[in-house]
Chain A
Amino acid sequence: MNDWISDHYKWVFVAPALIFMVLMIVVPIVMTLAFSLTDWNLLTGRAPSFNGLANYIEILKSPDFWHSFGITFYYTFLAIAMELVAGVLLAVLINKDFRGKGVVKTIILLPYMMAPVAVGMMWMLFYEPTSGFMNWLFTTIGLPRSGFTSARGSVIPSLAFVEFWQMTPMVVIVCMAGLAALPEDCMEAAVVDGATPIQTFFRVKLPMLLPTIFSIGLLRFVDVFKSFDLIYAMTKGGPANASRTLNIYAYEEAFSYYKFGLSSSILTVVFIIVLAISFATMKLKNKVVEV
């Protein structure tokens, strides 16, 4: 026994994690994939039977799916764009040494520490159109009142803003780590050559920070694209279907309409989209960084 362990010790060490990974990650993915090829519908009372790609054909033909598809991308890109711009700027700003830096960093990090559902509930009070804080703020600074999460046109920007408010600190942390790792001599050389702080930022810091921005951008993409808790807590996909992202759509098909087969196929498509975009981003990152 001891000899066997000595011969295969690296596998012995890896085994617990490997078994855990297989059970917790691979099995659910394979099961979802398998369910997506069946007509599993609790309302029929029949046992699930294999129906090939019928679910995929149904969802790809469904305007509801494409509506959710568009909304998911709109929400994701809006949130990520705001998070990356604000995150990088904040990171650069607080990367300098100044009095009270610790306090500022802690305050910026606070939203990140809150649970998404609690954040959603809090912002629903802020967004309440008749007596909420946001409309008070809007009217005080001379802007027209908004329906925020209760109007079709403003619901996605309102949700994306909450996502941005909560998750920008994560971008800040990663970008600060990236900035700390940048070689000082490049910045000094730029200053010696007479570059202004703005030129230094755009011509030196930002290009060197690009790999970090790509990485955090990708992480945030995966996270926002599959966002569920915040949206479900705030609007449940409404008003009408105006904020029904792909994940909410899949949840509704399964737990409201009992169509588990169809829901699995939506989730599989989400999985493939995330995988494809992650892959493309990595490729792009390598290309950009090489240049």
Chain B
Amino acid sequence: MKKLLSVLLVVLMAASLVFAGGSKESAGPRIRVLSMTAQISDGILEYLDEFEEESGIKVDLELYGEAELRQKEMTEFMTGNSTVDVYLFSPLQDMAAFSQNGWIEPLDEYLDDPELNWDDFSSAPPKQITIPGTDSIGCLPLYSSVQLMYYRTDVFEKYGLEPPKDYDELIEVCKKINDPANNFYAIACRGERNALTSQYSPFLFAFGGSFIKDGKSNFASEGSYEATKFYGELLGNYAPPGILTAGYSQMTQLFNSGTVGMVIDANALYATLVDPAESAYADKVGVAAIPAGPEGAHSYMQVSWAVAMYPGSKNKEAAWEFMKFVAGSDVAAYITPLGMPSFRNSVWTDERVESAMTPDMVQAYADTYAITTNNEFGLPRMTAVTEARDIMGGAVVYSIETKGQGPELKGMMEEAAAEVDELLKAYDEYGENYNW
């Protein structure tokens, strides 16, 4: 027995020595950060050592896929004793729920910090980063998402085409380059029920429609109906057959495999399209602002991802230092050329950015930022946003399936509008109570 005990003791001591060796204790504060596996984290990692050295703060950076990150944050915050200090999130999607549950620290008192230079973020849409029902800023915006049109320069040259400026031209181009017999399709836009809503929103607004008007669903309006019909015709006739399950990543696959001639989707796509390791057509990518509909061009301008502080953080000062670093000019200059434009105005005059971007991309951004739109969010503004997206997305999917000719479309859209109204009522946001 004694022998056994001594052996156990030795094993335990050895184990404690081995595992203690793994976590080198630093003298400074230590913070835990949840982020996602994307270019933004590559940017953070690029400068992280420098940050740790200069600030003396040790950062435990945990990376998850986008969906896993949301799930991780929700389940961990729900327990009420999370040890997270700083986290990345999508304010459009989660600001309402997260702030309702007290998971977002108001940042007002930190914004005066001269090192941050908050004035530099003047292009960030304020509504998207403000905690609902208050005037407090809840997060630092990291990068924006706008919609752009990518096209194959070689195909356009072959047919002597210019990037379409309006929907009539868009259909003309589609007719000319569509060649299903040779497995080549004119265009790809998202067709997956939930993922499509943001990319469909510019079409919706371009026909004078919108998700919500005067606190009520506007999905059954004439403009919304025309837009849904057009989106269905466009994708039903000129997109590849698998389009109904196509979300963000399939857009890249379809363009990079040479299956489609055009893609209308988020700017974040750009980096993968022009990466020679990812695409055989990397040097044949043209980019332009999206074409305009009868009521103009209406790209969204979303705060795609932002960084927030967890109110339960025990190291708020260190957490703030890290947040400043993530929203700082180094990371901004790293992610902007990769199709994730920072909200910092100064980034466009940063040498690192100027030398890394093609003129047509800079022009496309400039054209897109120049437009005025009510479609800033690209999503229905309401608490139950995901559910509303699914409901409306269902009708859009039907329109694509029936090439915009489905006899039930009008009825389905009316039904969807009624369901969205019910959701607005359920969260006390209907009619004059609408406060978004």
Q: Does B358 make an interface contact (CB < 8 A)? A: no
A130-B100 contact in complex given A239-B192, A255-B74, C-beta closer than 8 Å: no
Q: Is the CB of A151 within 8 A of B244?
A: yes
Task: Please count how many residues in chain A sit with their CB below 8 Å of the partner chain's CB atoms.
Answer: 25
Q: How far is the CB of A216 from chain B (nearest CB, A)?
A: 32
Stretch from B1-9, B43-51, B272-280, B386-394 forming part of the interface with A: B386-394
Q: How far is the CB of B266 from chain A (nearest CB, A)?
A: 19
Q: Is the CB of B185 within 8 A of A258?
A: no
Chain A residues within 8 Å of B191, by CB: 239
Q: Is the CB of A44 within 8 A of B243?
A: no
Q: How far is the CB of B185 from chain A (nearest CB, A)?
A: 7
Q: Is the CB of A130 within 8 A of B387?
A: no
Of residues 30 to 62 in A, which have CB atoms within 8 Å of B's CB atoms? Answer: 42-45
Q: Does A229 make an interface contact (CB < 8 A)? A: no
Of residues 217 to 276 in B, which have CB atoms within 8 Å of A's CB atoms? Answer: 240-246, 257, 259
Of residues 204 to 242 in A, which have CB atoms within 8 Å of B's CB atoms? Answer: 235-236, 238-241
Q: What string of 1s and 0s marks CB contacts (under 8 Å) between B174-195 and chain A? A: 0000000001010000011110
Chain A residues within 8 Å of B100, by CB: 42-45
In whole angstroms, what is the CA distance A147 to B74 when docked?
A: 36
Q: Is the CB of B384 within 8 A of A257?
A: yes
Q: Does B398 make an interface contact (CB < 8 A)? A: yes
Q: What string of 1s and 0s marks CB contacts (under 8 Å) between A148-162 and chain B? A: 011110000000000
Q: How far is the CB of A46 from chain B (nearest CB, A)?
A: 9
In whole angstroms, what is the CA distance A149 to B244 when docked?
A: 9
Task: Please count how many residues in chain B sit with their CB below 8 Å of the partner chain's CB atoms.
Answer: 34
Q: Is the CB of B96 within 8 A of A43?
A: yes
- A150, A252, A255: the one contacting B71 at CB < 8 Å is A255
Q: Is the CB of B386 within 8 A of A256?
A: yes
Q: Does B401 make an interface contact (CB < 8 A)? A: yes
Chain A residues within 8 Å of B97, by CB: 42-43, 258
Q: How far is the CB of B227 from chain A (nearest CB, A)?
A: 18
Interface SS majority for chain B: helix
Chain A residues within 8 Å of B243, by CB: 150
- B192, B240, B386: the one contacting A236 at CB < 8 Å is B192
Q: Is the CB of B259 within 8 A of A240?
A: no
A131-B183 contact in complex given A43-B100, A150-B242, A239-B192, C-beta closer than 8 Å: yes
Q: Is the CB of A130 within 8 A of B193?
A: no
Q: Does A111 make an interface contact (CB < 8 A)? A: no
Q: Is the CB of B394 within 8 A of A240?
A: yes
Chain B residues within 8 Å of A131, by CB: 183, 257, 259
Q: Does B118 make an interface contact (CB < 8 A)? A: no
Chain B residues within 8 Å of A240, by CB: 193, 244, 393-394, 397-398
Q: Does B110 make an interface contact (CB < 8 A)? A: no
Q: List 30 A-B contacts (CB under 8 A).
A: A42-B78, A42-B100, A43-B96, A43-B384, A44-B100, A45-B101, A129-B241, A130-B183, A130-B185, A130-B242, A130-B259, A131-B183, A131-B257, A147-B241, A150-B242, A150-B243, A150-B244, A150-B246, A151-B244, A239-B191, A240-B193, A240-B244, A240-B393, A240-B398, A241-B193, A241-B394, A255-B71, A255-B74, A256-B390, A257-B387
Q: Apart from A43-B100, A238-B245, list 5 A-B contacts with CB within 8 A.
A: A43-B97, A149-B242, A240-B244, A241-B394, A256-B194
